[in-house]
Amino acid sequence: MSDPRRDNLGYFFSDTAARVPGRIAIVDLWGGRRREFSFGDLDRRAQCVAAFFQSQGAQPGDRIALLVGNRCEYIESFFGLMRVGLVSVPLNPKQAEANLEFMLRDSEATGLIIDPEVCPLGATIADRLGLQIKVMLSGEGAPVASGLPDSWLPYERALSMADYAVTSRLSPDGIAFQPYTAGSTGKPKGVRLRHEGMLWSIRSTEEKWPTSPDEVGLVCVPLFHKNAMRGTVKPNLFAGGRTVLMPRYEPREFLTTLAKERATYCGGVPAIFSMTLQHEDLIATLDFSALKLLVIGSAVVPTELVRNLNQVFPSAKVKESYGLTEGGGPLRGPVDGRLTPAGSAGVIAEGYEVELVSIDGTHGAEEGELWTRSPCVTDGYHNLPELTRERIVDGWLRTGDLFRVDQEGFFYFRGRVDDMFSCGGENIYPREVESVLLGHSDVTDACVVPVPHPVKGLVPAAMVVLRPGAGADAETLKAYSLSNGPAYAHPRRILIIDSIPLSPAGKPDKAKIRDELERLGTDAQ
């Protein structure tokens, strides 16, 4: 008889735990302490999470929300809940109170695991909504000793109560977890992801692009974000590698940890690596010889950033990745050994279908919106049937991302469909303007957005970060853009700042950037 756990994402690393129970799976740096968890520890603790919630009457299909930071408890809870058919709902703890309450209501969560250190408002919201099962961590990773409301149970005590066997189950609709999109253009949207599709993605990826058990992956982006889980945590847990969890990104701590832990690879968003490069003094003192790979994704990756990283970390290959919550990773490096050109996210990954659809609706175009179909495409958006019908057509996911494809089958990200804008009749892609700015030797980061213009409708404006001690000013950078790019695309307003405003997921907060640049106005050119 086949093992029912093989169909349950919550058990996907159990074979590894049985094979190498004593090997270190997670190095947890939360709270300024170092905690190590073996594969056996992680598997046992995930099982305790499953047993506890089952003992409290939680039923398959119930949603259990997570408001937990970058610590091992997040990982063991995320997968442990799935083992008894519960649906994990990972939430961004830095969301506004109204958004948090909306997501808890919308998901119909019946329980919550929370770390009040990362989300002080969460417990109040959960009490207000009358959630049935409420578990709380403390900031130091130990049970909350005092001051805990009667309706809340300390996390470690909950795990200690779970001392009986668990029968693997799936949720009735096959949903494993339900993350929420950032909601930058409206209310957050719950993305329904199935056990079957997620397991297919892990197994097919490891078959074609296997992860070595000797890998040490450093995570500094939030665990609720797909970048961390799909890019580092899942591959390492499946293969037997080690994952190092930083509580949060801080440039100098990131560099120190990267060297101290002898990390072999790290993934993140472009903003993280742009900020890292500003600390050349510390970089020069550290040993990064173990580092083999830097993976950048989840946002536009400027060509100049890749070039600068190659120079600073010569032992590491810098790779641009593409993936999305709703549809996995449809583009990868070729399995036939061909090198991926600079600026490309790769070719169509085996097992995925991909095509480009032009603005006029022509399928199979050389440039257009990327559509993808595979077993890991989302089941749909929770409580949003109209959006589901709009975004998923005959199993094809309309990603909203613009690409072009060359004659060799390599795909190049151009930006979001809704990022492209027309300036006096000329189409402008912010990424291309950012790449021009980053070509200037004084610039380390840039973000371009459209702002209103009385004549041209919309024009580019930019926030720019300079290297320490750099002498360039806004007029110098405007002149540089005019000389090195199309005149119609040069930024009409450039604001030099210390750092680009970021969303909680580590991406440029374009709404905030646009608002600030609009307040400053633009030159009438």
pLDDT mean over 69-94: 96
Distances (CA, A) of 335 to 296, 322, 339, 349: 20, 16, 10, 9
User: Which residue, 120, 146, 177, sits at the end of a domain?
Assistant: 177
Say what the pLDDT of residue 287 is: 96
Q: Which residues pair with 412 in a beta bridge?
A: 404
User: Which residue, 154, 177, 200, sits at the end of a domain?
Assistant: 177
Say what the pLDDT of residue 469 is: 84
Structure confidence at residue 339 as a pLDDT band (50, 70, 90): very high
Would residue 510 count as lying in a domain?
Answer: yes
pLDDT mean over 33-43: 97
**Cα–Cα distance measured from residue 138 to residue 133, given in angstroms and rounded to the nearest whole number:** 17
Is the pLDDT at 153 greater than 80? The verdict is yes
Say what the pLDDT of residue 276 is: 92
Say what the pLDDT of residue 186 is: 64
Q: Which residue has the higher pLDDT, 489 or 255?
A: 255
State how far Cα 186 lies from the chain centre.
19
User: Which residue, 132, 161, 177, sits at the end of a domain?
Assistant: 177
Mean pLDDT is lowest, of 50-64, 101-115, 249-263, 270-284, for: 270-284
Say what the pLDDT of residue 475 is: 93
Say what the pLDDT of residue 182 is: 67
Is residue 108 a contact partner of residue 84, using CB atoms and an 8 Å limit?
Answer: no
Range of the domain at 460: 421-519
Is the pLDDT at 48 greater than 90? The verdict is yes
Closest CA to 31 of 73, 94, 78, 87: 73
Say what the pLDDT of residue 427 is: 79
Residue 190 is classified by DSSP as: B
Would residue 394 count as lying in a domain?
Answer: no
pLDDT mean over 223-247: 94
Is residue 107 a contact partner of residue 85, using CB atoms and an 8 Å limit?
Answer: no
Would residue 164 count as lying in a domain?
Answer: yes
Structure confidence at residue 270 as a pLDDT band (50, 70, 90): confident
Say what the pLDDT of residue 184 is: 43
**Cα–Cα distance measured from residue 213 to residue 31, given in angstroms and rounded to the nearest whole number:** 27
Say what the pLDDT of residue 187 is: 81
Would residue 444 count as lying in a domain?
Answer: yes
pLDDT mean over 358-363: 89
Would residue 364 count as lying in a domain?
Answer: no
Is the pLDDT at 185 greater than 60? The verdict is no
Mean pLDDT is lowest, of 18-32, 180-194, 482-496, for: 180-194
Look up the CATH number of the domain holding residue 132. 3.40.50.980
DSSP-based three-state secondary structure for 365: coil
Is residue 13 a contact partner of residue 238, using CB atoms and an 8 Å limit?
Answer: yes
Q: Which residue has the higher pLDDT, 441 or 49?
A: 49
Structure confidence at residue 200 as a pLDDT band (50, 70, 90): very high
Is the pLDDT at 328 greater than 90? The verdict is yes
Q: Which residue has the higher pLDDT, 293 or 164?
A: 293
DSSP 29-87: -GGG--EEEEHHHHHHHHHHHHHHHHHTT--TT-EEEEE--SSHHHHHHHHHHHTBT-E
Say what the pLDDT of residue 146 is: 43
pLDDT mean over 287-309: 86
- The terminus-to-terminus CA distance of the chain in angstroms comes to 73
Say what the pLDDT of residue 139 is: 47
Structure confidence at residue 142 as a pLDDT band (50, 70, 90): very low
Say what the pLDDT of residue 81 is: 98
pLDDT mean over 300-312: 83
Instruction: Tell me the pLDDT tens digit for each residue of 449-458.
Output: 988 887 778 8
Is residue 367 a contact partner of residue 358, using CB atoms and an 8 Å limit?
Answer: yes
Would residue 74 count as lying in a domain?
Answer: yes
Would residue 324 count as lying in a domain?
Answer: no
Share of the chain above pLDDT 90, in %: 67
Is residue 56 a contact partner of residue 167, using CB atoms and an 8 Å limit?
Answer: no
pLDDT mean over 383-390: 95
pLDDT mean over 40-67: 96
Domain count, the chain: 2
Instruction: Round the average pLDDT of the chain to a whole number and report it.
Output: 90
Say what the pLDDT of residue 223 is: 94
Look up the CATH number of the domain holding residue 499. 3.30.300.30
Mean pLDDT is lowest, of 133-137, 269-273, 504-508, 519-523, for: 519-523
Is the pLDDT at 424 greater than 80? The verdict is no
pLDDT mean over 478-507: 87
**Cα–Cα distance measured from residue 209 to residue 446, given in angstroms and rounded to the nearest whole number:** 33
Structure confidence at residue 426 as a pLDDT band (50, 70, 90): confident
Say what the pLDDT of residue 509 is: 85
Would residue 342 count as lying in a domain?
Answer: no
